[in-house]
Amino acid sequence: MSDHATMQAIARLVPQGARVLDLGCGDGALLDLLQRTRGCTGYGIEIADANVLACVRRGVNVIQLNLDEGLAMFSDNSFDVVLQIDTLQHLRNAETMLRETARVGKSGIVAFPNFAHWPNRLSVLRGRMPVTRRLPYQWYDTPNIRVGTYKDFEVLAGKNKLRILDAFGLQDGREVRFLPNALAGTAVFHFEHD
C-alpha cells in the first residue's frame, strides 16, 4: 500500500515517537514516513530480497524473516505499535499472526482489502471474482491466499479478545466511517489486547 493519502491515514493512528514493528513492510515507505514525520523508531520485517534492499537504501531498519515462522524473536510488549498493512491476507497463519501482533505490541494496526466493498459484491453477483484497483489480480494469479471483509475482522477480533480502538474504511485516500463494509476498498483496524 504505497498511496500517500492511505499511508497518511494509517500514520495518524501511530503515536508520536512510538517504537514500531512493521510486518511485511515492503519497500519501507510507511516506516520511513513514520520516522520522518512522527519521530518513530523500530523495524520492518520483510521476506523479499528487493524490498529488504529498498528498506536499507531508505535508512529503514529491516529484518529478513518469513512471517509464517512467527515472531518468537520478540518479547511481549516489545513495541508500542505493530503494523500489518496489506499483510494479513498473504499469511497462511493469519489468526496466529494476529495474536502475535497483539502479544509483541501494546497495540496493533491492520489494513487489508475489504472483499465486501460494493464493486466486489457486484462482480461476485455477476459470477466473477473481482478485479479492481485494490484487488488487481485475476483469481488464478493473486498473491492473496485469503479474502476477508470489514465485518469478518470485527468477529475475528472478538474471538481473539482484541479491543478495537478505532476502525474505518479507506477509499481513494479518504476515511469512510459510514457503512465501511460496503463503501470502502480497504478495512483499517487499530486494536489492543483485552
pLDDT tens digit sequence for 116-155 = 999 999 999 999 999 988 888 899 998 888 999 999 999 9
Q: Would you say residue 17 has pLDDT above 50?
A: yes
Calpha distance 172→92 (Å, rounded): 28
Can you give the pLDDT at residue 2? 54
CATH number of the domain at 32, please: 3.40.50.150
Can you give the pLDDT at residue 123? 92
Q: How confident is the model at residue 53 (pLDDT cuts 50, 70, 90)?
A: very high
Average pLDDT over residues 31-43: 97
Residue 176: what residue type?
A: V
Render pLDDT for 152-181 as a digit per residue (tens, 0 to 9): 999 999 999 999 999 999 999 899 999 999
* Closest of 10, 80, 7 to residue 40, by C-alpha: 80
Q: Would you say residue 102 has pLDDT above 60?
A: yes
Print the domain residue range for 52: 4-193
Strands 19-23 and 41-46: parallel
Contact yes or no for 36/42 (Cβ under 8 A): no
Where is pLDDT greater, at 1 or 102? 102
The overall average pLDDT reported for the chain is: 94
Can you give the pLDDT at residue 1? 47
Q: pTM higher than 0.75, yes or no?
A: yes
Domains held by the chain: number: 1
Residue 4: what residue type?
A: H
